[in-house]
Each structure stands twice: as structure tokens, then as C-alpha cells.
Structure 1
Amino acid sequence: MESDNWVVRNLEDALSTWNDKMGEVVGLLTTSPADFKGGGIWDVILTIHGAVQGIALALLVLFFLVGMVKTCGSFAELKKPEHVLKLFVRFILAKAAITYGLELMLAFIDVVQGLMATIMSAAGFSATEGAALPEEMVTAIESAGFLESIPLWAVTLLGGLFITVLSFIVVLTVYGRFFKLYMYTAIAPIPLSTFAGEPSQSVGKSFIRSYAAVCLEGAIIMLACIIFSLFASAPPVVDATAPVVTQVWGYIGELVFNLLVLVGMVKMSDRIVREMMGL
């Protein structure tokens, strides 16, 4: 039954916001970009990708010619069959990367989605465990007098604000990953066209590694959620003999610390993946 006490309701509302956002995080991580928000965004990204392919094909010829000029010491080298074959194969592979790059990117997304499903299955993890206010603390708060309630209002306002802000930071990080996937997919043909020239191919390699890092970032965030769920499986300990303000302050302090651990791990996921990929 919902409490009529303002302090209890404020804490419960903050915890409810956190639980909702954590459920949203897990749902986002297990959702394919093609299914996100009904797929409308993905359809627009595919349209942009197709339009950019025309520009990429023009750049393909430009990078190919620039690379040919820089790698050939003289015109006589172009008469060598092995050199001509090498240039021809490079051009064909770069053209294939532009034409079929989207299929390869989607295949990598499917692999990462399968990886996250495997991680969740191996850990026995389906959703984060919801945080709830202990019953003994609810009883202590409701039994507090008016003068004792005054500092409780300040503590709960501050604690509720911290919890709400941290919950939005986590979910915004996951949304940011989705937006990065869309941006990479939309302009993918441009960096892939650099494979046509040997001097510019480092741009294409860097793009592929960065795209793989963004995809794997989801798996790292999923691992962070699983680790946090195990780390915070036991609720904060409440000393029933302490004053009610001390109880609430101790509970909020330990809870905020646990949430900061998760936020820190989620925010570091990008850096962890880039260190793994050597970026």
C-alpha cells in the first residue's frame, strides 16, 4: 500500500525512476537498431546511406587515382601485369566495401546482439533487480515527529535528486550508443571509399575499428549491469537503533555509492572498448 508520508513517497518515486530507467537500459541493449522506436529512424538512415553511396563512388575513383599516382614511381610500373592486377583487385574490393558494407555492418550488429544474449543467458540475467525502500525504514519515517521530519525533507530531496540524475545519465549513455550506430551507418560509404588508395586506407581501417568498438560497447554496458546487479544484490544495511535521520542518510549514501559505481562503469565502457581495440 502506498504511504501517505511525503518523505517516503519522494524516496519511492526516485527509486521507481531508477528501476524504470534500468529496465529501459536492458531493453535498449537487447534491441536491434532496425527495431528501435519502431524502425522509423532506421529507414531514414538507410535512405541516407543509399544517397551517400553515390558520393562515395565518386570519391572511390578519386582516392584510387591519388593512390595510383603516389604508389607508382613511374608510368613504366603501370605496364607491369602484377602491378596492374594489384590496383585492379584493390579497386574491386573497395567498390565491394561500398556496395556491400551495410550488409557486413548489419552482420556485425547481429553478432554483438548474439554475444549479449549469450552473456545474459550464461549469467542467468534477465533484468536488473528493482531497488525498494526497506519496510523498517518506512515505519521509522512514518513514526517521526514534525521536527524530525524537517531534516528528513532536505535529505530525501538531495538523495532523490542524485538518484534521478544518475538514472538519466545511464540511460542517456545507452541512447548515445544508438545515435553513434546510426551516424556510423549513415556515412559509412565515405570512409570505406578510402580503401581504394593505399595512402588513404588507414582512414577506412580506423572507421571499421571504431564501428566495432561502438557495437561492442553494448556488450560492455551489459556486463556492467550484470556486475552491478551482483554487487548491489544485498540492500543497504539499516541500523534500526539509530535516529531516523541517520538511518535515511546512511541508506541514501550507500545507495548513491552503488549507483555511482554503475554509472562509472557505464561511462567507462567506451574507453574500455577503445583500449581493447587499440584506438
Structure 2
Amino acid sequence: MSDNWVVQNLENALSTWNGYLSEIWSLITTTPQNFRGGTIWTVIQNINTAVQGVGLGLLVLFFVVGMVKTCGSFADVKKPEHALKLFVRFILAKAVITQGMELMLTIFTIIQGVINTIITSSGITNPNNLALPDDIVSAIEDCGFFESIPLWAVTLIGGLVVTVISLILILTVYGRFFKLYMYTAIAPIPLSTFAGEPSQNVGKTFLKSYCAVCLEGAIIVLACIIFSLFASTPPDVDSSMSAVNQVWSYIGQLIFNMLVLVGTVKMSDRIVREMMGL
């Protein structure tokens, strides 16, 4: 690492970005069961098991309400075909509640397979690290004391912006894990709506929303892959410009690419929901 303070500041900002981008890549390929050693998943399992009692109570309620709304009279319930239909619906709804955890894990595993396929097909096992070009380093080191003063301001602002963008990016990805855990914890309650025909749309919407959260990982991976391809070629900077203009041009183009990545990641939820018609 260079002894120049300006260079060090820029390299530290890029190092922060590279570290968070690598962590994001690791998070996307991590299952909820293994995240943070599995401690959080154990608690979520306990909550899901406890909430199943509430879900089974609501199961009966939605079943009765659905039966009242769909049957014209009590005589309809006596019909074998109608009674069988109600019985099968009740059994299936109960199975969805009691086996809801396995159902959601199966959905996650399928979508995780899609994510792994995208990573394998891209040939990028890890995102490319950003590095300060040697031309920029040389231009900065050749500056005198007074010429370095505006460089300090530029690098301070640029380094701060890069750090803030990095934090926004990592928090967005962590937010996806929070949503996965919350969906899994309360799953028995919305899944209980499958017991009644009039209320089953609530359960369908819940499962679609959960699938959308899982698919956010695929959008995030695609965004990181595209950014890595951009990062493999450093921004073009005119070496005939002054050091301040070179650094400003480099940081500006870099921040623009970072903002595009962050914007795509933050909109991943909306993108997937539009794809699924939610």
C-alpha cells in the first residue's frame, strides 16, 4: 500500500466495498439453516412450532366459514361428493400447516438451485475486486503539497460516498434474510386460510410473496455478476488531465456504477413481484 494519505483513503474505501461485496456473495449462497451458525434458525423453528397451534385453530374457523359460504344449505353437506371435497380440503390444509416448514424449505431449495445455476453458468465464483489503477496512484503521488489539498477533499467525499453505498448494499441483502425468517416464523397463520375456499387467496398470495423473497437472491446475484464484469475494466480516465480531475473522473464513474448496482438490488423485490404478478 502506498504511503500517500490520499491513495490510502481511496484504497480503504475500495477495500470496504470489496469486503461487503464478497460478504453479499457469501450470504446469497448461504441457507437460512446455516446463517450465523444456525442459531437464528433454531429460534424460528421454535416460533413456527408454537404458532402452529394458532394456525390449527384458525384452520377450523376458516373451514367452517368457507363451508357456510360455499354450501347453499345443510343438505349440500350431506351429498357424498361435496362432503368428500370438504374433507379433502380440510386434510390438505392441515397438512400444509403441519408440514409448512418443509414446504417452504423445498421452495427455497429449488430457487437456491436456480441461483447456483446462474453462478455456475456465469463462470464467476467470486465478484471481481476493485483496485485503484496504477496511473491514478502515480498521478496522486506526483502531486505537491498544495496540489494535494483539493485531492484530500475529493477523496474524503468520494470515500465517504463509497462507504455509505456499501452499507446500504449490505443492509439490503441482510434485509432479505430477515424477511425469509419472518415469513417462515408466521407461516402457519396465513397457510391456515387454505381451509376455506373464500379465504384461500390469502394463502396463495403468501406463498407467492415467499417465492418472490427467495427469487430476490437470483436478481441480486445477476446484478453482482454484471457489476463484476463492469469492474473488470477500470473506468477510462484521460491521463492528460490534472490529478484532481483524474481522481474526480475515476470516482464519479465508479460511484455511478455502484449506484446502479445498489438501485438494482434495492428494486429486486419490486422486479420479482412484477414478474410474478403480485
Q: Which residue in 1 is equivalent to 2:51?
A: 52
Query: Is the aligned partner of 1:199 residue 2:214?
Result: no
Contact 2:130 2:231 in 1 (8 A): no
Q: Which residue in 2 is equivalent to 1:179?
A: 178
* Paired positions, count: 278
CA distance in 1, matches of 2:252, 2:151: 13
CA distance in 1, matches of 2:45, 2:157: 44
Q: Which residue in 2 is equivalent to 1:21?
A: 20
CA distance in 2, matches of 1:214, 1:115: 14
Q: Which residue in 1 is equivalent to 2:247?
A: 248
Residues 20-169 of structure 1 correspond to what in structure 2 (within 5 A)?
20-169=19-168
Where do 4+ consecutive residues of structure 1 move more than 4 Å?
none
- What displacement does 1:199 show? 1.0
Q: Which residue in 1 is equivalent to 2:257?
A: 258
CA displacement, residues 117-159 of structure 1 (integer Å, 9 cap, x when unaligned): 1111111011111001111211111121111111111100110
Calculate the aligned-residue CA RMSD, in Å.
Answer: 0.9
Aligned amino acid, residue 167 of structure 2: F
Aligned amino acid, residue 148 of structure 2: S
- What displacement does 1:238 show? 2.3
Aligned amino acid, residue 24 of structure 2: V
Aligned amino acid, residue 90 of structure 2: F
CA distance in 1, matches of 2:70, 2:20: 54
- What displacement does 1:230 show? 1.7
Q: Report the more deviating stretch, 256-265 or 22-31.
A: 256-265
CA distance in 1, matches of 2:227, 2:129: 12
CA distance in 2, matches of 1:229, 1:120: 12
SS in 2 for 1:235: coil
Give percent identity, aligned residues only. 70
Q: Report the more deviating stretch, 105-114 or 58-67.
A: 105-114
- What displacement does 1:171 show? 1.0
- What displacement does 1:164 show? 0.7
SS in 1 for 2:237: coil
Query: Is the aligned partner of 1:221 residue 2:220?
Result: yes
CA distance in 2, matches of 1:80, 1:48: 40
What 5-or-longer segments of structure 1 have no aligned partner?
none
Q: Which residue in 2 is equivalent to 1:188?
A: 187
- What displacement does 1:113 show? 1.6
- What displacement does 1:109 show? 1.1
When the two structures are superposed, what TM-score results if normalisation uses the length of structure 1?
0.98
- What displacement does 1:73 show? 1.2
- What displacement does 1:231 show? 2.7
CA distance in 1, matches of 2:116, 2:78: 53
Contact 2:129 2:231 in 1 (8 A): no
